[in-house]
Structure 1
Amino acid sequence: MNGAPYTVLRTRGLAKQYPVAGGRRLVAVDGVDLALDAGRTLALVGESGSGKSTIARCVVRLVEPSAGEVWINGRAVHAMGRGSLPELYREAQMVFQDPNGSLNPRMTVRQVLHEPLRLHLKLDRERREARARQLVEQVGLTPAHLDRYPHELSGGQRQRIGIARALAVEPDLLILDEPTSSLDVSVRGDILALLLRLQREMRLAYLFITHDLQVVRHVADDVAVMYLGGIVESGPVAEVFARPAHPYTRALLSAAPVPEWGVTRTRLRLAGEIPSPIDPPPGCRLVGRCPLAQPGCSAARPPLVEVSPGHLSACPVTLTAGDRP
């Protein structure tokens, strides 16, 4: 890689629906556009069920999208046949939330790391072993860990092995699906520091899925806020956190813990329940819960509109009324 900026991941109109009884469909992801450059981190945030993990799986075709387009390093992932997907996995890898579930308990760390080196890079045994030793040291472990099974490792060590396995094929894009949420609080900071160091050294692009806004503030360059399958606000983290334009973003930020003692924050509370993704509202998906909703909000789904350079919001009420903090 050279130092010039370029787009590693781009999606356009990405959508995923699941058929349910009665001929209806559950809308998991609905028309999502994303762009992520080399060396940067884009965080996807939102409540559980908002579609964050579905997007991740659609990007690498673990789940087949219902519609839309995905490009990784300029290659049309959506147009690739199943037989071409191994080529995709040289460029994009995932680190999953639960390291216990993502590692084969019958395989040693050595076997876990040798497998992608054999399948994707076609390395002989001697070179696989050298690369495996390099990988464990790269993630802060030692060659002694190569002979251990997953149950002989701590949770943090297992996640480090998951990261090492993802790095084995030297991808440009890592999709990090809640990579620290299942770990002890004392370990989370170490894993985040490791990810930031690896990104600086290798100029990796991270698609970082999380519900923890403090993690977003610490690790991400840009953020996309999801609600009921769609993006309602996106932009640079500092700008979105300082001047949230969408009521849902404002509600999320106002509910987050305040790190400074004695500092309070005005809560923006959303009423009611999240609508069913089987029968989402035709207009703004937040309309039934939003304290700022107007009659026109139910008419049509609002598009994302630029409110400042690179900062987009899908709330015409706050844009026209100037109702921003």
Structure 2
Amino acid sequence: DPVTGVFRGVIAGCGYFSRHHLEAWRRIEGVEITATCDSDPARARAAGLAAYTSADQMLEKERPHFLDLVTRPETHLELIRTAASRGVAVICQKPLAPVWGEAVEILRIARSAGIRLMAHENWRWQPWYREAARLIRQGAIGQPHAYCLRMRHHEGRGDDPFPAQPYFRDMPRFLVYEILIHHLDTARFLFGEIETVCAELARLNPAMRGEDRAVITVRHQSGLTGVIDGHTLHPSASGVALGDAWFEGGNGRLALDPNGNLWTERGCVWRNDVAAGYRGDSVRAAQAHFIECLRSGAPFETDIEEYLRSMAAMEACYLSAERKAIVSPLKFLVDSQSE
């Protein structure tokens, strides 16, 4: 009985990021990963577990409680359909789907099969954002008036950008789709639903197919406005937070530095001392939340239906840049309900 015993899971996808997933699972009590699957047999075997090249065969033989999906986005729809047909819960790495219509179809499949499905969105689980949320809700800055989430990356420079993830170069939509979706979701976590976005996108490195520079003005339903500002050509960007941030209110200012520390006018109010795992051990935190909710029946923070709101904000950014206009994510959510 997984409610009181051990949850057995399997992993599909053994590429660059899956190592962070597997390492985190090994530190979560009450979880056993029994197998991995990849189209490359050598990568599937590298974890030292039962290895498969077919997800369907893996699910048939292993009979897991959940599937951790760490494959490329274009494979997610069919793999989730396969898991749903067997009643297997899924935690799916973002991007959830390459196009909006596939994301909506994934939601329909999960609903129809009655399976639990969570987007593996780890940014909101970084401990500095959890602490910032706590401080803001406690009134540390008073009523929020403005914010900026700034992303800086150095691996997008030169003729061979992103050497560890070279497929980034060929993505027709890159920065907002692959990276700043994190920040849009974190903005929702901190300040509630997004009413409109206005986005300016650019491609600065000709070696990239998609955009590598973005400035997004965000307006929340509360009336709060903020800015998400990112690019991948910083000459020396470093730090676990992959950028910095500030939050201003009627009573003060809270700032996040690149090392994950939080500051007010009085000095450092929270120091990041998390050394384990990926970016503040956020992968483990997201996965532990998944298991806790499977065990208790509580809703996931990034349940598929809830996470579509972050994806709708991302889609609105691209439409905004194309039309040079302010766009509401609600357009996509309304359209999805009619499909």
Shorter chain as denominator, the TM-score bin is: 0.3 to 0.5
TM-score by length of 2: 0.32
Of structures 1 and 2, the larger Rg is shown by: 1
TM norm structure 1: 0.33
